[in-house]
Structure 1
Amino acid sequence: MANKKGLGRGINALFSDFTEEKEIDEKVEELQLSEIRPNPYQPRKTFDEENLHDLAESIRKNGVFQPIIVRKSSVMGYEIIAGERRFRASKMANQDKIPAIVRAIDDEQMMEIAVLENLQREDLSPLEEAQAYSTLMENLKITQSELSERLGKSRPYIANYLRLLDLPTEVKSMLQNGQLSMGQARTLLALKDKDKLVDLAKRTVKENLTVRQLEQIVNEMNGKKKIKKDKKKKLSPYLLESQTQLQEKFGTKVAIKANEKTGKGKIEISYLSTEDFNRILDVLNIEL
């Protein structure tokens, strides 16, 4: 079995951990599509139909260049470990068979690979990513800290995603279909009166509120004093939008202070703890 602490190194390292001894004997087989079923632990629920049609057309003309990876099912046939897009596109292209590599892995590895594969390709929506973390914790009986270590993600990063699961169903749908951003959804969670959360989410979509505007509204609804406007010169629309995008990217308060006459300025990124600081470093791909 793979070294669990090696999971944070990425899916390629994970595969090599438990296959390096068999790699020489490994071969590509032609398997019937009818004998294969999707990964039961696949966290991704939606697939881009347009991209699938493009891939299907390519497969129809040129075949499948990269084999999918499967394992033998305990029920019947095979289960996909990696390559569900190629599998779906092959069915769409009316193919009978697909090249595949059969590997022996257990359920625990199957779940971890499914999440890692999608995370590395950034294929998951925020809600799908949150559900994937929740499923791993529940099925593997592990804590947020343990999951953080195994996936190479900071604990605050995982915690921020798990909080999305507390959103009302209607708001989750808005997040899933792209009407709300991750930053907007997280800001909505700060609203104390949860009965007003759905209405505020609808207002956010209707008025196209920025995260900064939404934060102000949430603070006012929570009874906090209205934030005093900065007496300094207001930022240009370009810098304001840049500031909002940076806040969404880093999941924390970001302030741009600029002198647009000279073109000079600075960017301040706030963090709440050492773990939060490390999470921001992760986003920046900085290793210390």
Structure 2
Amino acid sequence: MAKATKKQALGRGLSALLKDPSNDIQSVADKNADKVVGSIVELELTAIEVNPFQPRTSFNEESLRELASSIKELGVIQPITVRKLDFNKYQLVSGERRFRASKLIGLETVPAYIRIANDQESLEMALVENIQRQDLDPIEIALSYQRLIEEIDITQEELSDRVGKNRSTITNYLRLLKLDPIIQTGMRDGFISMGHGRALINIEDTDEQLSIYEKVLGKKLSVRDTEALVRDMKSSTPTKTPSAKKTIPSYAKDAKKELSTLLDRKIDVKIGSSGKGQFVVPFADKEDLSRLLKLIKSEK
């Protein structure tokens, strides 16, 4: 108990230090920065703004209320992480659920780790730290991986080192973003699992993806059943073999050109394997057809 009291007192002391304009810390080289950066500090909730780089886009209200109840009973056990923006002004890096839950029960302060970082470093910290959490859904994780690759400009191999995941794991998550948006939403809402999504991604046609997705929901199919359904659909789909392009004889090409000029429109010619062929003459309506007939008759 004595240790906890001392820790809280230290946090309050550091909070007072941060509120002193003469000790405004902007970089790790500033005076007293070593006392603050990496330490647990009690910060006023009103001095903290939400991080726009937060990968989580939705928060379960019931889960948030449960967390708020736990915080009310036990306090904030795991401090949030913030970065310093300006004098007595901070931005969340990670811990938005704890931040929201603390506001929900009317707390005035919250324990926090303070970091000093620029926007890109903050984005990377937010994404990497949040990816490690267990409560992100597969699509949120996939979007976080994608943002790291695109905005931090790193390869999948480098990302693998940053987040401590196999490259194949990262690839599997990123492939989920190729699913139809309706299916992605279903995964985010918990209607289907990542295993279902990985099975559905093997169907390239989005209409067929949605057709199987509806069956999965309607019949409450397991991942194994879904994989079997996908295999059956792929095996029953006839493979289209490209037909050899037939060469049009020069005499037919010349006739096509002459007829196109005469009728003032694009003419198509088809030649069968036996050498027999036909011309296809398009027309817009009855009047256009009458005009074509007159042109042909006048050439007799």
Taking structure 2 as the reference length, what is the TM-score of the superposition? 0.61
Alignment correspondent of 2:230:
218
**CA shift in 2, pair 1:25/1:77, >3 Å:** closer
Alignment correspondent of 1:98:
110
2:92 is matched with which residue: 62, 77, 80?
Answer: 80
Taking structure 1 as the reference length, what is the TM-score of the superposition? 0.63
Give the superposition deviation at 1:77. 2.5
Q: Structure with the greater relative contact order (CA < 8 A, sep ≥ 6): 1 or 2?
A: 1
**Paired residues for 1:1-288 under 5 Å:** 24-26=35-37, 27-61=39-73, 63-73=75-85, 77-223=89-235
Q: Which runs of 5+ in 2 are unaligned?
A: 1-27, 238-300
Cα deviations by residue, 1:186-231 (Å, 9 ceiling, x for unpaired): 1111113322211210111111122222222222222359xxxxxx
Size of the alignment, in residue pairs?
207
Cα deviations by residue, 1:232-287 (Å, 9 ceiling, x for unpaired): xxxxxxxxxxxxxxxxxxxxxxxxxxxxxxxxxxxxxxxxxxxxxxxxxxxxxxxx
Code of the residue aligned with 1:203 in structure 2: it is K
Alignment correspondent of 1:253:
none
Alignment correspondent of 1:270:
none
In terms of mean alpha carbon deviation, does 78-87 or 93-102 score higher?
A: 93-102
- Cα distance in 2, alignment partners of residues 162 and 78 from structure 1: 32
Give the superposition deviation at 1:75. 11
Code of the residue aligned with 1:210 in structure 2: it is S
Q: Which runs of 5+ in 1 are unaligned?
A: 1-18, 226-288
- Cα distance in 2, alignment partners of residues 65 and 179 from structure 1: 32
Give the superposition deviation at 1:64. 3.4
Code of the residue aligned with 1:67 in structure 2: it is P
- Cα distance in 1, alignment partners of residues 80 and 215 from structure 2: 44
Asked whether the equivalents of residues 76 and 110 of structure 2 are also in contact (C-alpha less than 8 Å), the reply is yes
**CA shift in 2, pair 1:221/1:110, >3 Å:** same
- Cα distance in 1, alignment partners of residues 212 and 73 from structure 2: 49
Bigger CA radius of gyration: 2
**CA shift in 2, pair 1:180/1:105, >3 Å:** same
Code of the residue aligned with 1:146 in structure 2: it is E
Structure 1 runs of 4+ with >4 Å offset: 21-28
Asked whether the equivalents of residues 124 and 152 of structure 2 are also in contact (C-alpha less than 8 Å), the reply is no
Code of the residue aligned with 1:117 in structure 2: it is E
- Cα distance in 1, alignment partners of residues 222 and 74 from structure 2: 45
**CA shift in 2, pair 1:51/1:194, >3 Å:** closer
Cα deviations by residue, 1:73-131 (Å, 9 ceiling, x for unpaired): 37993111232222111110122332333221233332333233333331211111000
The sequence identity of aligned pairs, in percent, is 41
Asked whether the equivalents of residues 44 and 123 of structure 1 are also in contact (C-alpha less than 8 Å), the reply is no
Q: Partner of 2:43: helix, strand, or coil?
A: strand
Give the superposition deviation at 1:165. 0.6
- Cα distance in 1, alignment partners of residues 207 and 63 from structure 2: 39
How large is the RMSD of aligned CA atoms in angstroms? 2.8
Asked whether the equivalents of residues 69 and 80 of structure 1 are also in contact (C-alpha less than 8 Å), the reply is yes
- Cα distance in 1, alignment partners of residues 36 and 87 from structure 2: 25
- Cα distance in 2, alignment partners of residues 164 and 190 from structure 1: 10
Asked whether the equivalents of residues 36 and 114 of structure 2 are also in contact (C-alpha less than 8 Å), the reply is no
Q: Partner of 2:235: helix, strand, or coil?
A: coil
